[in-house]
């Protein structure tokens, strides 16, 4: 046994050499953390591995526990932890007394004074900015309510830039450094961040990154973390839900019900974006091909039955001049009080939603549907008709029931999901953060 123990360091060295060689060949390890680089150094791999274990632990692990859990030597773990501490990626937790003799152990936790993600959202009736730290905590969240339909894209993005600048200043005061930003937009976004079409905002071919940069230069440069990613809001809201519900299902459909209706499809823990990132336009699934005209140019789309304005119109509240931010709350209050017109309107919207959802469930074999955005507080009235349509139309419903539940995050989940996506990039490749200039 003693001989074997003496041989262990040599064996680990040899193994590391082989792994290094393997990486130089550009081979991805099958168990590499999401987003891990393919040809990074062994150090990069070890940094990501140790940080991943600290992030996933349900209590702060010690260096010895990390060594045992990763198979790395204690010396390697100590060196990696020193790098992570110096880069403000991890911190030492308060010491916990040990049973029996010995020094109290100090576990490691994700740092709350290091890098952070900035999440931004421009929607039909609000702007939002939020800051999420490495541990996933929302540290700042600002929502500015305003009807942005009469406002030019340049003006809307100038106002958003003010919120972004304020968020950056607030984050700096708390010792946080914004490593990157993600902006949620209710429309089709191409790979360069150009918003091709946002029908409910009236935007077409808007160069969002350039316009936003005029008011808020996002200069953070971290390898592997773009300064700004522009993404469809329903996709980012779905990511927010995925990150918020650690024990939730790995596959689900998240529907954001606002003036427009969009969906994010999460399959096996990853967002299904489609070939060009334009998946999830559930609001334009035809519920009745000969129905009312839709802003998209089609007829009878889901949005014309279950969009916020359609629900208000069906409830007889179209002319009530309700401020956009209170419309959902008002609908929920009236439904709670038993208002028959509102109950009928929600039943109709729920039926249309159920028809569309049943089609998606038949296609993708999902067992969980999350109602987000403005739909979340209306879930008690939308769920029964949605479930009725699922039971009527989904072939497998009799053997595999579908769960329909409200979203965990609030109405501005997309901004939180966007900030969280920045943080996830850092966790997947900490070496990019450690090597940043300055």
- Interface residues with Zn ion (CB under 5 A) are 284, 294, 296, 298, 301
Closest to Zn ion by CB, 296 vs 347, is 296
Find the shortest distance in angstroms from Cβ 360 to Zn ion. 16
Instruction: Please identify which residue in the block is written with the tokens 């419903």.
Output: 397
Q: Beta-strand (E) ranges in 190-294?
A: 194-198, 203-207, 228-232, 252-257, 261-267, 270-272
Find the shortest distance in angstroms from Cβ 202 to Zn ion. 15
Q: Give the pair of three-digit tokens for residue 127.
A: 């702007």
Q: Determine the Cα–Cα distance for residues 239 and 200; give it in Å rounded to an integer.
A: 22
Find the shortest distance in angstroms from Cβ 293 to Zn ion. 9
Q: Determine the Cα–Cα distance for residues 424 and 117; give it in Å rounded to an integer.
A: 9
Closest to Zn ion by CB, 193 vs 283, is 283
Find the shortest distance in angstroms from Cβ 252 to Zn ion. 24
Q: Determine the Cα–Cα distance for residues 165 and 169; give it in Å rounded to an integer.
A: 6
Closest to Zn ion by CB, 67 vs 302, is 302
Identify the three-state secondary structure at position 120.
strand
Q: Give the pair of three-digit tokens for residue 56.
A: 């996933």
Closest to Zn ion by CB, 226 vs 298, is 298
Find the shortest distance in angstroms from Cβ 208 to Zn ion. 22
CB of 122 closer than 8 Å to CB of 163: no
Find the shortest distance in angstroms from Cβ 382 to Zn ion. 20
Find the shortest distance in angstroms from Cβ 188 to Zn ion. 12
Closest of 18, 174, 120, 51 to residue 418, by C-alpha = 120
Closest to Zn ion by CB, 243 vs 284, is 284
Find the shortest distance in angstroms from Cβ 302 to Zn ion. 8
Find the shortest distance in angstroms from Cβ 147 to Zn ion. 21
How many other C-beta atoms can be found within 10 angstroms of the C-beta atom of residue 10?
9
Closest to Zn ion by CB, 262 vs 417, is 262
CB of 355 closer than 8 Å to CB of 287: yes
Helix, strand, coil abundance in the chain, percent, nearest 5: 45, 20, 35
β-partners of residue 138 are 132
Closest to Zn ion by CB, 335 vs 357, is 357
CB of 90 closer than 8 Å to CB of 108: yes
Q: Determine the Cα–Cα distance for residues 260 and 16; give it in Å rounded to an integer.
A: 52
Closest to Zn ion by CB, 119 vs 374, is 374
Closest to Zn ion by CB, 179 vs 261, is 261
Closest of 112, 42, 54 to residue 81, by C-alpha = 54
Closest of 269, 231, 238, 264 to residue 251, by C-alpha = 269
Closest to Zn ion by CB, 83 vs 303, is 303
Residues 6+ apart with CB under 8 A from 292: 299, 300, 304
Find the shortest distance in angstroms from Cβ 303 to Zn ion. 6
């Amino acid at each position: 046994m003693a001989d074997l123990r003496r041989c262990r360091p040599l064996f680990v060295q040899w193994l590391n050499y082989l792994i290094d060689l393997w990486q130089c060949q550009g081979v991805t390890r099958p168990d590499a953390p999401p987003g891990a680089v393919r040809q990074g150094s062994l150090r990069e791999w070890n940094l990501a591995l140790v940080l991943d274990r600290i992030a996933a632990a349900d209590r702060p692990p010690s260096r010895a526990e990390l060594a045992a859990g990763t198979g790395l030597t204690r010396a390697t773990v100590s060196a990696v932890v020193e790098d992570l501490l110096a880069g403000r990626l991890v911190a030492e937790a308060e010491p916990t007394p040990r049973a029996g003799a010995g020094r109290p152990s100090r576990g490691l936790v994700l740092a709350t004074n290091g890098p952070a993600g900035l999440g931004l959202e421009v929607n039909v009736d609000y702007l939002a900015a939020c800051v999420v730290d490495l541990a996933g905590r929302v540290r700042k969240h600002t929502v500015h309510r305003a009807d942005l339909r009469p406002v030019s894209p340049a003006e809307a993005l100038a106002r958003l830039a003010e919120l972004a600048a304020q968020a950056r200043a607030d984050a700096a005061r708390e010792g946080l450094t914004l490593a990157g930003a993600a902006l949620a937009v209710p429309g089709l976004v191409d790979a360069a961040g150009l918003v091709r079409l946002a029908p409910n905002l009236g935007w077409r071919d808007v160069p969002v990154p350039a316009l936003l940069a005029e008011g808020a230069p996002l200069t953070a440069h971290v390898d592997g973390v773009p300064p700004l990613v522009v993404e469809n809001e329903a996709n980012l809201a779905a990511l927010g839900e995925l990150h918020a519900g650690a024990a939730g299902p790995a596959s689900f459909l998240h529907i954001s019900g606002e003036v427009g209706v969009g969906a994010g499809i999460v399959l096996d823990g990853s967002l299904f974006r489609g070939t060009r990132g334009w998946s999830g336009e559930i609001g334009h699934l035809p519920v009745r091909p000969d129905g009312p005209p839709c802003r998209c140019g089609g007829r009878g789309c889901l949005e014309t039955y279950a969009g916020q304005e359609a629900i208000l119109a069906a409830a007889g509240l179209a002319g009530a001049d309700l401020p956009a931010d209170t419309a959902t709350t008002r609908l929920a209050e009236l439904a709670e009080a038993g208002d028959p017109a509102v109950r009928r309107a929600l039943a109709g919207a729920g039926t249309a939603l159920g028809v569309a959802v049943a089609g998606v469930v038949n296609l993708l074999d999902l067992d969980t549907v999350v109602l987000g955005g403005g739909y979340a507080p209306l879930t008690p009235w939308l769920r029964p008709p949605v479930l009725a349509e699922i039971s009527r139309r989904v072939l497998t419903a009799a053997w595999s029931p579908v769960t329909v539940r409200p979203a965990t995050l609030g109405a501005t989940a997309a901004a939180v999901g966007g900030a969280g996506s920045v943080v996830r990039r850092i966790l997947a490749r900490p070496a990019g953060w450690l090597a940043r200039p300055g």
